[in-house]
Amino acid sequence: MKQRVSAFEAMRYIRTNSLKRLFWLRRSRFDGGFDCQKSPASGSTPSANASDAAVGTEDPQKRPIWKCFSYEEIYVATDGFSSERLVGKGGYAEVYKGVLPDGEEIAVKRLTRALNEERKVKEFLTEIGTIGHVSHPNVLSLLGCCIDNGLYLIFLFSSRGSIASLLHDEKMPTIDWKTRYKIVIGTARGLHYLHKGCPRRIIHRDIKSSNVLLTSDFEPQISDFGLAKWLPSQWTHHSIAPIEGTFGHVAPEYFMHGIVDEKTDVFAFGVFLLEIISGRKPVDGSPQSLHSWARPILKQGGIERLADPRLEGAYDVVQLRTLAFAASLCIRASPTWRPTMNEVLEVMEGERMEVERWSMPEEEEEDQEEFWGFEDLECECDSSFSSSISQEE
C-alpha cells in the first residue's frame, strides 16, 4: 500500500542538497547562467551553471548570486528575529528587516509556525520555485533562502515598504501624481513580464497594493508569490480549487468558476489602478467595493471625480483620463473583453485613446450589466467558502 509522503520526509528531501536540482534559477538574458552557492559563512562551493538561456532585463555582466544562507547569518542579521525588526505580518509569513555584515539591508520572510509542516513546505516550494526564475526591475529579487530551523526566503529590503502603507496611512504625506503614474506603469511592466517575458508563464493571483513594494526611488516591485501559478504555454486557462485571493480584487470568472489565466491578474490590476487614482481602499467596510463605486463614473463620465481629493487637483488630466480608461477595460466582467497587459501598457502610454477599438457590441454591454452583481456574493458567501479568501486590513 502506497503511503503518503510526510512533511518531515519532504523536509529531509529538501535538505539533501536537492534545491540545486529543483530550482533552475535563470538570471541572465544572454548566457542563462545561475549560481546557487553557500554564503561565505557556511563554506560551500558554487554549483555548476545551467545550460539554457532565459529571458530577463538585467545587465548580463551583473549576475546576482542566489545564496543558501545559514540560520546563524539571518539570526544575527535580524537581532534574533527581534519584534523591533518585524516589518510585516500576513496569514502565512512574518517579514523581518535584517542587516548583513557588509551593511546590505535584507528582508527575511519566515513562514509562520501556524502552518502545518506540509502546507509550509508547499508554500515555500511554490514561492521560491516561482520567483527564483524571474529577473526584472519591477519584480522583487530573491537573494536566497534558508532551510535550517524553519523555512526562510531572503530578499533585498524595500526601504519604502508597500504602496498600501504609503497610500492609506494618514500619517504619511500624500503621494504626488507623478509618482503614482510611475508606480502604475512600472507595475504594469512587471506584470507583463510575468505573463509573457519570463521563462515560465506566471499568474500572480494576488496583485494588490500591499503586494507591490517600493524602492528608495519609488520604483515598484511585485512581491509575494505565495499564490502564484505556472501555466503551460499550451493551456488557455487553469481551474483551481479552493479559490484563494483578496476581497475586492478577485475576478468574476475566478470567484464563480475557479478559472485562472492572465486576465485574472488584469482584473486585479484594474482595481489596483483605481486604488492609485482615487486613494480609496478596494474594500473599506462599506457595502460597495471600489470597482463597483467607480464603474458608473467610468461609464457616464466626469472622470475627475475619481481623483484622490488629497491631490487637490494637482494631476495631469490627460494621464488621469488615460489611466481611468485603462482601468475601465481591465475590470470588465467578461475576461474575453479585457485587454492583455501588453495592451494595457499601450493604452496607458499611448498618446491618444482608441475608444472605438475597445467598444463592445450592444448585446455584450447588456450581458456585462447583468454579470456585475457578483461582488455582492463576496459579502454573502458562506464561511466555508470565504475561509480561502483573505480580507484586506
Domains of the chain plus CATH, in order, are 7-156 (3.30.200.20), 163-390 (1.10.510.10)
Q: Under a CB-based contact definition with an 8 Å cutoff, are residues 280 and 290 in contact? A: yes
Q: Report the phi/psi class of residue 99: left, alpha or beta, with left for phi > 0 and alpha for psi in -120 to 50.
A: beta
Mean pLDDT for the chain overall? 76
Q: Under a CB-based contact definition with an 8 Å cutoff, are residues 57 and 193 in contact? A: yes
Q: What is the mean pLDDT of residues 243-259?
A: 64
**How far is Cα 329 from Cα 360, in angstroms, rounded to an integer?**
11
Q: Which residues pair with 152 in a beta bridge?
A: 110, 146
Of the residues 206, 224, 261, 308, only one is catalytic, namely 206
**How far is Cα 246 from Cα 172, in angstroms, rounded to an integer?**
24
- The H-assigned helical ranges of the chain are 7-13, 19-22, 71-77, 117-131, 163-168, 177-192, 252-257, 262-278, 290-300, 317-330, 341-349, 362-371, 374-380, 383-386
Q: Which residues pair with 146 in a beta bridge?
A: 152
Q: What is the mean pLDDT of residues 370-378?
A: 48
pLDDT tops 80 at residue 273: yes
Q: Under a CB-based contact definition with an 8 Å cutoff, are residues 360 and 337 in contact? A: yes
Least confident of 159-173, 295-309, 342-356: 342-356
pLDDT of res. 254: 60
Q: Supply the pTM of this predicted model.
A: 0.76
Q: What is the pLDDT of residues 104-149, one digit of tens each?
A: 999 999 988 665 777 778 778 877 878 877 889 999 988 999 999 9
**How far is Cα 70 from Cα 66, in angstroms, rounded to an integer?**
13
Task: State the residue for C-alpha cell 548583513.
Answer: 100
Q: How far is CA 138 from the centre of its chain?
A: 10
pLDDT tops 80 at residue 30: no
Percent above pLDDT 90 for the chain: 42
Residue type for position 62: K
* Residues whose CB is less than 8 angstroms from the CB of residue 305 and which lie 6 or more positions away in sequence, other chains included: 297
- Report whether the peptide linkage leading into residue 242 is cis, meaning its omega lies within 30 degrees of zero: yes
Annotated binding site: 109
Within a 13 Å sphere around the CA of 211, how many CA atoms are in the beta-carbon half? 23
Least confident of 75-89, 237-251, 375-389: 375-389
Backbone angles phi, psi at 150, to 5 degrees: 125, -170
284 flagged as catalytic = no
Q: What is the mean pLDDT of residues 309-313?
A: 96
Report residue 361 as a C-alpha cell.
457590441
**How far is Cα 327 from Cα 329, in angstroms, rounded to an integer?**
5
CA distances to 56, 211, 277, 348 from 176, rounded to whole Å, are: 30, 20, 11, 18
Q: What is the mean pLDDT of residues 63-75?
A: 81
Backbone angles phi, psi at 28, to 5 degrees: -120, 140
* Residues whose CB is less than 8 angstroms from the CB of residue 355 and which lie 6 or more positions away in sequence, other chains included: 325
Q: Is 54 exposed, middle or buried (0-12, 13-18, 19+ CB in 10 A)?
A: buried
Annotated binding site for ATP: 109
Least confident of 153-157, 171-175, 322-326, 373-377: 373-377
pLDDT of res. 358: 84
Task: State the residue for C-alpha cell 500624500.
Answer: 174
pLDDT tops 90 at residue 313: yes
pLDDT tops 50 at residue 26: no
**How far is Cα 7 from Cα 15, in angstroms, rounded to an integer?**
12
Report residue 56 as a C-alpha cell.
530577463
